[in-house]
Structure 1
Amino acid sequence: MAEDKKAFIDEINKVLAKSEGLTLKDLLFSYQGTPYPAVACSVETFQALDNLEARRDDIVLVSYPKCGVNWLIQILSDLIFTTSQSKPVSMELPFIECGDPDKYERMKQIPSPRILATHLNYDCLPKSIFKNKAKILVLFRNPKDTAASFFHFHNNAPSVPSYSSWDEFFSEFMNGKVGWGSYFDHAVTWSKHIEDENTMVIMYEDLKENLTASVKQIAEFFGFSPTAEQIQSIADRATFQAVKDKAQETHGIVGSTLFRKGVVGDWKNLFTEAQNQEMDAKFKACLEGTKLGAKLKYDVYCKA
């Protein structure tokens, strides 16, 4: 297992090494109108993505960047290990759109259940996920904290090019000119599928508020049957602080940046009144009146 962990950290380090010396302009490339980081994704990998053969028991985890999916991967890995005593293999980058085009061939060797994570919109997922009825867990976080966390990641991750200011980042974020494109486009796409069969949407803020209840809900959705004691011990090991404490061991040099603060409301340290109004208007235009909009509890988490 230590070999798996080392191989996974090596993959992360390769991505960071490719970022060395790049400017923000060099970092992103466009594929079908959406910007992606050139150090982790490529046109060739996207073209090969439909070769991914999903299995019915694959665990598909979806989120926009910086909404907590790395935390979710830790929770699911522990859930699999606790209930089946088999440890998920982590030699590949867990994000299906990241890596080289041959990874889909190698992934055939990974034993079930596999964790397939992604930041992609619904329409960009490999068709086999839907054809084979794999279950999809979609994680959302309020857009203001997402933006704040994304900014800090860019400006704190080793080798990753930084923004000159929060104002510069905010403008690019609102215009969808950051890696994986617009938060709001992502949200609107997934909002249409919130009630699809085999799909469940959960909130980052709910994980923070009641991790034990969230672990139970996730386990039931994926068909795991842990005991109440096991659910509690998974939740105890998966508190944000516990995951952060082990982040260097699990994710190497980038661990402390991936698991930075994990608090709700950190956006208040960055947003100006004008930026608040701009995002409030965008939320209203894109998500007000939708089921996803209601789940996001915007008035609770995004009003100063």
Structure 2
Amino acid sequence: MDRISTTETFAGISYPGHLHTKESLQLAQDFQFQDMDILIATFPKSGTTWMQEILTLIYNKGDSVVAETLPNWLRTPWLEHTYFRDLVQENGGLRIITTHLPYDILAPALKNSKAKVIYMVRNPKDVAVSYYHFHKFAKFLPEPGNFGKFLDRFLNGTVHYGSWFQHVKGWLRHQENASFFLITYEDMHRELRCSIERLCGFLNHSLSSEELDRVEEHCSFGNMSQNRMVNCTLISPEILDHSKGKFMRKGKVGDWKQHFTVAQNNLFERIYQEEMSHCKHCFLMTLD
């Protein structure tokens, strides 16, 4: 708790000191991945919790007991957090690991393994809005100010965890790798069952129709938002001020339209085009 207002810097990117130290970040960079490992990589507020829950259900054949009794940070621990070494298993079995780190930090370790990487990405306008609201009640993040000021910091990459643009471009440069699976938040909203089936194919893990039904039902936003093992209500109010917001707020695509002014949207579009002009992937800003 004494580090809750601390900012840690590593490889030019700032991280909340509450769960990150230079030692924990260095250990993440030096981590020895095993071939059976599955790494969930995301920028903050891009559907990380959703993917953690889906993989938990896939590997339990749709049985939700583990997902409803064990917090997700214990099931799918964060590689860069201070507690990771105490949780990670070294027995050579299946390990689902989560990270917000950019590709360049993990590249040396990943190149020496056959670990599977699932990169989940969400359109940046909704990420900016969701991240802004998260700052309003997460006490380990800086005060966001008004949305316009926060959006400026998001666009210039000075928020914690760095630039969305650099994070996405860094990971997507490796999307042709056979061990890399790209999925978007928007894809999962449009076709959740199809997305689960695609994940099963990538993981070489087959499920029956009934098991897929259970995974799909449990991993709906409504069900997850009521699950204390994932909705962060187990976390102390000294860390998350639950009176000021919810971790699982809306889970919608296109909520940015309720926040952006015309001028802010024009600015965002200009910077987006400058940053992502050479990116092969087209991100859906709305499902309309």
Q: Give TM-score scaled by structure 1 length.
A: 0.81
User: Which consecutive residues of structure 2, in runs of 5 or more, have no partner in the other structure?
Assistant: none
Specify the alignment match of 1:5 in structure 2.
none
CA contact (8 A) 2:8 2:16 kept: yes
Q: Letter of the aligned partner of 2:209 in structure 1? A: A
Q: Retained in 2: the 8 A contact 1:35–1:179?
A: yes
Equivalent-residue separation in structure 2 for 1:149 and 1:67 (angstroms): 9
Larger mean CA deviation between 198-207 and 188-197 belongs to: 188-197
* Of 192, 206, 211, the match for 2:187: 206
Paired residues for 1:29-178 under 5 Å: 29-82=8-61, 90-91=73-74, 94-100=77-83, 103-104=84-85, 107-109=88-90, 112-125=93-106, 127-157=108-138, 160-178=141-159
Pick from 232, 256, 263: which aligns with 1:267? 256
How far is the alpha carbon of 1:74 from its aligned partner? Answer: 0.8
**Aligned residue for 2:268?**
279
Q: Which runs of 4+ in 1 moved over 4 A?
A: 83-90, 158-161
Tell me the secondary structure at the aligned position of residue 125 of structure 1. Answer: helix
Structure 1 window deviating more from structure 2 (281-290 vs 259-268): it is: 281-290
Structure with the largest fraction of helix = 1
Give deviations 1:110-151, integer Å, cap 9, x for gaps.
673111111111111163333121110100100000000000
Counterpart of 1:286 in 2: which secondary structure? helix
Q: Secondary structure at the match of 1:82?
A: coil
Task: Answer whether contact 1:133 1:198 (CA < 8 A) is retained.
Answer: yes
Deviation of residue 83 (structure 1)? 7.2
Q: Which one is further off, 227-236 or 59-68?
A: 227-236
Structure-2 change in CA distance of 1:93 and 1:222 (3 Å) = closer
Aligned partners of 1:57 and 1:220: how far apart in 2? 15
TM-score by length of 2: 0.86
Q: Deviations over 1:163-193 (max 9, x none)?
A: 2211121111111111110001111212211
Kept in 2, the 8 Å contact 1:57–1:114? The answer is yes
- Partner of 2:183: helix, strand, or coil? strand
Contact 2:27 2:80 in 1 (8 A): no
Q: Look up the match of 1:8.
A: none
Q: Distance between the aligned counterparts of 2:65 and 2:261, measured in 1?
A: 48
The Cα offsets for residues 78-116 of structure 1, whole Å up to 9 and x where unpaired, read as 11111799959853872201115xx43752446731111
Which structure 1 segments of 5+ residues have no match?
A: 1-13
Inter-partner Cα distance in structure 2 for 1:241 and 1:158: 26
Q: Is contact 2:74–2:87 with CA below 8 Å preserved after alignment?
A: no
Aligned residues: CA RMSD: 2.7
Identity %: 27
> Which of 16, 22, 28 is equivalent to 2:7?
28
The equivalent position to 1:227 in structure 2, one of 208, 233, 236, is: 208
Work out whether residues 157 and 257 of structure 1, in 8 Å CA contact, stay in contact via their aligned partners in 2. Answer: no
